[in-house]
Each structure stands twice: as C-alpha cells, then as structure tokens.
Amino acid sequence: MASTRTNATQGPRPEALAVPVATTRASSRNGASLVIIELLILLFVIAVLRTLLAPGSFGLTSVAMIWLVLAAMSYIVGEFESSARANFGLTVRTQAAFGMTYAAYGLIHGVWPWCELMTVRFWLALWFYLSVMAPLIGLVLRYITRQRVLLVTDLHLNSVRLLRWWGFECAEITTLEDLAGWLKDNSDDRGHVAKYSLIVVDTTGPRTERVVSDLSSNYFVDFVGIPSFGMVSYLLGPHPRPVASYSVSGVARRLKRVVDLVLSGLVVILLGPLLIVVALLVRFSSPGPVFYRHCRLGRNMRYFQLMKFRTMYRDADVRLKHLLESDPELKREFEASYKLKNDPRITGIGSILRRYSIDELPQFFNILIGEMSFVGPRPIVDGEVKYYMSHSLLMFRVRPGATGLWQVSGRSDTSYDFRVKLDTQYVQDWTLWDDIKIIFKTLPAVLSRRGAY
C-alpha cells in the first residue's frame, strides 16, 4: 500500500494526532542515560586499573584526563552516536579511539607533568576492557533499558527475543509492503509519528533500505536499519545504522556535538556565579519560580521543556489574554510574530535580562542533555508550525539552537517569513564552519541589542 503524502509540507488533515510529551521523550532519555552510565563505568574502570596496574601513579588528574580524552576520541570516531548498537568492541572504531587516546595522552604527559606516565600493563588492561568487557556490559544495559519500537521485517519474525538484548522491545511488527500505510495511519498532518520515536527496519533485503529511505523524507521519526541478525554481527559488524534521506551522522556532525558539550560546559562553569546572582534577582523581584519552562518542538518534532529565567509576571497568560481582547492592534502584532515590542507582562528585571539575552543562559542545560544545539534553527512552539508548512519542515531534522542565523540577522526586527527562510537555509546549507562563524557573530549581536525585546 503506497502512501499518498508527497512531502512533509502538505496541508493539514483535520484528524491531526496529539503528541504525548512523555512518549516522544522516552527514547532520547534512554539513549542519554545509557551513554552516561557507560561513561561512568568507564571512569570507574580507569580508576581501578590505575590503582592496580600503575601503583606509582597517585594523581587523579591522570585518571580524569585519560577518561576525557578517551570519551572525546570515542565520540569523534562514532561511538555513542546511536543507542541502536553497542559501544566499543573488536571494531575498527574502538581500536582507532584507543590508539588516538594512547597517542594524545603521551603528548599531554610530555607538556603537563600532572598527567603521570601509565604502565604498559595499564594500557593493555584498558584495551581488553574496551574490546571485550565493555560491549558485554552494554548488552546488559540495553536489555534492562529497552525502548518500545516498531519492527519492519518480512523474514526475521523469530528475532524479537534477540532484539531485546540490543535494547529494542518490539511492541508491533509490520511488513515492508505495509509500512507506507502504517506510517500514513499513525502520523499527523505534519508527518510526525507519535506512537514510536524509533522504527527498526530489517535491511537484509536488497531493496529495503532504498524504499525506507524514500519514505523517511516524508516523516519525522528515526529509522534504524539492521543489516544482519546475529549476535556476532551486532558486536563486530555490520552494525545497525540510521536509514534516512537527510543524514545527521558523520564526523562533522559528531564534531558539532563535541563543540556543543565543550562550549556549554565552559559557559555553565565560567558563568556559574552570574547564574546564581540572576536566579536570586528573579526570585526576589516578583512572585513566581526562578525558571520558566516552555514546551517547544525539537528534532523530529519531539517535545522538550526549554528553560529560561522567568522574565514575566506569574499571571502573564491571563494578562496577555485580556490585553489581546482589548487591543486589536496588539493582537495583530502578536499573531504576526508571537512577540510584543512593549510587552506589559515583562517584569523590571526581566526587561534587562531580555535586552542582553541573559534570560536564555539556562538553555545551555538543554544543550548539555542533548535536547538543543549551540547553533541551530529557532525552537518554536506548536502553533508556529503552520508558518513553516508553506515553506519547509526541514528544520525538524536537526536539534534547535540557542543561537543561529536569525539571532545574528536582526532577531525580532526581521519578519516572520524571513525567519522561516533563515531556518530552512541553515539546515540546507549546514557546515561546521558556518556554525563557528555564527558563534563568533553571536556576542556582538547580543551586545548591540539589535532586535532584542
């Protein structure tokens, strides 16, 4: 059965489905939790091996540096990219990460005496853990934290139990022939699939990957292809890999995430005192919570709670309703841009925070946990999607950003149509170098206060 939807920007159907927040966030949280647990176990193992096999080493700096370098190198070569496969093992990816870590730590030891020299026995034991023990631990963790998925297969109906060890709980099974119809019946007018955040596809057939890749351009859900059903293949390769018309994998994409983590971590550490002072000012300047959490749409149209410092009065929604009902001119302004230039809902301290974008600093916590990126399209609310549907929904293929083309191009002084075009252009023409240029342009744009209100 073929889908009648031609693209993801088609007009709305009246029976659009509601998207439960808990369902769409479960998968990303499972994946993030797995990575955190595996990294903590890795840190513990490095500390134990240092104690047992490098008795002349006493500093914790060495343990922390090896762990940081190994985590960074592992991510760059492709570990932790997907929860759909085990991390580490007897693979080229793991051996490359280990080799680069060994070489990088040798260079660091040469210029930083606090990083002590490790024995050969330590490095051999660490290699054994990464190559043999870590993937087995990963299988157990994935079995415990299974995520509900749709399985698309014609031949491997008996592999459901095996997939549990890979972290997949097959709640539903369909065939490749019926996949298009299933997607149409379980998606809304925008192409968002709310029932599952991950669809596992049996790609052992020669045409399966091409068919699914064509379908994926119309829907916002992750497809993961399994080219071989066998425990040995899962551990050693060929590994499960994303199947999509728009790729968010590759070295450049992984480097983008490294930049996100490094910059966000530095901002949180260096501006920690400022964050505390602002939190106190917000708390005591007007009644209400310190942080304002607002539901926004992220990658694949999954809902997440965007964090900001509260800049409005606690009854802001009631004030807005009364204001728009009494002033048609302000209502037109708000409907055009979802902003008001002279907004009476904003507190005194809130206007200062907004002027210098200080209210947006808590978004770096969203970046650290993987819901946002440092640079990307604007995170929008559900009601704004209609403005994008007449252009493109391509922005939902990537994480939204704390800064982006819009923020360095005039912000609220630009038209809404121009914002949509900027978001689409960013995704279509993305390069890591463009991200770096936007980052350097962000601070002058913030200090100039152009379009900030």
**pTM exceeds 0.85:** no
Domain hosting residue 375, numbered range: 251-311+346-448
- Are both 235 and 176 inside the same structural domain? yes
- The answer on 163 and 75 residing in a single domain is no
**The predicted structure's pLDDT at residue 249:** 64
Stated as kind and residue range, the H or E segment containing 152 is strand 147-152
Q: Please check whether residue 326 lies inside any domain of the structure.
A: no
Residues 35 and 120 in one domain: yes
Whether 320 is in a domain gets the answer no
Q: Tens digit of pLDDT per residue, the chain (453 long)? A: 333 333 333 333 323 333 344 444 445 556 677 888 888 999 999 999 998 887 766 667 889 999 999 998 988 888 877 666 678 888 888 999 999 999 999 899 888 878 888 889 999 999 999 999 998 898 898 888 888 999 998 887 788 888 888 888 999 999 999 999 999 999 988 888 989 988 999 988 878 888 888 888 889 988 988 888 877 777 777 778 888 766 666 778 888 888 898 888 898 899 989 999 999 999 988 888 899 888 999 988 889 999 999 988 877 777 777 777 777 776 776 666 666 666 777 888 888 888 888 899 999 999 988 889 999 998 988 888 887 877 778 888 889 999 988 878 766 566 777 888 888 888 888 889 999 999 988 888 777 665 554
7 assigned to some structural domain: no
Q: How far apart are CA 416 and CA 390, in angstroms?
A: 13
DSSP element (H, E) containing 354: helix 348-355
Classify 58 as helix, strand or coil.
coil
Structural domain includes residue 8: no
Kindly state whether residues 136 and 174 are assigned to the same domain: no
Asked, for residue 358, whether it belongs to a domain, the answer is yes
Whether residues 46 and 98 fall in one domain: yes
Q: Which of 124, 141, 158 is the last residue of a domain?
A: 141
Domain contains 16: no
Residue 269 lies in a domain: yes
Distance of alpha carbon 343 from alpha carbon 345, whole angstroms:
5
| Rounded-to-integer distance, Cα 18 and Cα 388, Å | 19
My answer on whether 194 and 306 are in the same domain is: no
User: What pLDDT is attached to residue 354?
Assistant: 85
Cis check: omega of the bond before 238, within 30 degrees of 0:
yes
356 and 221, same structural domain?
A: no
Q: How many residues does the chain have?
A: 453
d(CA 238, CA 259): 29
Residues 44 and 154 in one domain: no
Residues 27 and 61 in one domain: yes
Cα separation of 104 and 106, whole Å? 5
Residue 155 belongs to a domain with what CATH number? 3.40.50
231 and 289 housed in the same domain: no
Residue 356 lies in a domain: yes
Rounded to an integer, what distance in angstroms lies between the CA atom of residue 272 and that of residue 266?
9
Domain boundary among 208, 242, 276: 242
**What pLDDT shows up at residue 442?**
86
**CA–CA gap between residue 145 and residue 36 (Å, rounded):** 13
Q: Please, what's the b/e burial string for 91-125 (b: 16 or more CB within 10 A of its CB; e: otherwise)?
A: bebbbbbbebbbebbeebbeeeeebbebeeebbeb
Number of structural domains in the chain: 3
Vertex 288 angle, CA 282 and 290, to 5°:
45
Q: Are residues 302 and 433 in the same domain?
A: yes
Domain boundary, last residue among 98, 120, 141: 141
Going by C-beta distance under 8 Å and a sequence separation of 6 or more, which residues neighbour residue 269?
none
Tell me, yes or no, whether 74 and 136 share the same domain.
yes
